[in-house]
Amino acid sequence: MASGTKDALASALRQMMKVKPIDKITVKDIVEICGVNRQTFYYHFDDIDNLLEWVFEDDAERVLPKEVTYEHWREDMVIFIDYLENSSSFTLNVYNSNSRLYMLRYLKSKLKACIESFAIIVSDGKNISRQDFEFITEFYATLAIGYIAQWLDSGMHFPRELTRERVLRVMDQSMENIIARFI
C-alpha cells in the first residue's frame, strides 16, 4: 500500500508539473489530486523536494542503466538522452527551478557510476593508479553533465539525432585512448 501511495503522490506531482513550475507546487495541490490528506503525504515525504528526490530515484531504478557494458555502451548512453527527452517537460521544469543543482548532481552521480563501470572494463589488466582512474571518471562525468546542462539551457532544442550521434562519436574509443595516456 505504501508503494502505491508513493506512486500516486509522484503521479500527482508529475501532473501538477505540467501546469505549474515545481517551485509553485504545494503539498495541498498534491493531496487534492490524490484524494488523501496532508498527514498521508507527510507520512511518506518531508516536503515536495523529498518527493522529487523519490521520483528521481524511482525513475533511475526503472529506466537508467546501473552500469555500462563494453558491448552495449552506445545503447546504454542513449538511454540517458532518451530518458531526458521523453520526460522533457518534467526535466525542464526541474531544471528551471530551485532544484536545478540537485538534479544536475543527481544525474552526474548516475552518469559517473556508469562511466566508472565502463572504465573498469577498459582499464582491466592495465597499470593505472587509482588517483588517475578517479580523475578520468570525474572528468568524463563533469564533461557529460556540462553538455547536458547546455542542452537543457537551450530548452533541449539540439536536434535529437545530431546530438546523439555527436555524443557517441566523441565517446567512441575515447575512454580507451585516455586510459592509455595514463598508463
pLDDT higher than threshold 80 for residue 69: no
**77: pLDDT confidence band, cut at 50, 70 and 90?**
confident
User: What is the pLDDT, as a whole number, of residue 1?
Assistant: 41
List the chain domain ranges.
2-50, 63-182
Chain mean pLDDT for the chain: 86
Number of separate helices (H) and strands (E) present in the chain: 10, 0
What the block records as the C-alpha cell of 52 is: 522529487
The C-alpha torsion from 96 through 101 and 104 to 110, rounded to 10°, is -140
CA distances (Å), 5 to each of 12, 18, 41, in order? 10, 20, 9
Mean pLDDT, range 80-100, rounded to an integer: 85
User: What is the pLDDT, as a whole number, of residue 103?
Assistant: 87
Helix (H/G/I), strand (E/B), else coil: 140: helix
Assigned CATH topology for domain 2-50: Arc Repressor Mutant, subunit A (1.10.10)
Instruction: Identify the top-confidence range among 48-57, 71-80, 133-142.
Output: 133-142
Helix (H/G/I), strand (E/B), else coil: 17: helix
Instruction: Identify the top-confidence range among 6-15, 60-69, 144-153.
Output: 6-15
What the block records as the C-alpha cell of 91 is: 526535466
User: What is the pLDDT, as a whole number, of residue 29?
Assistant: 95
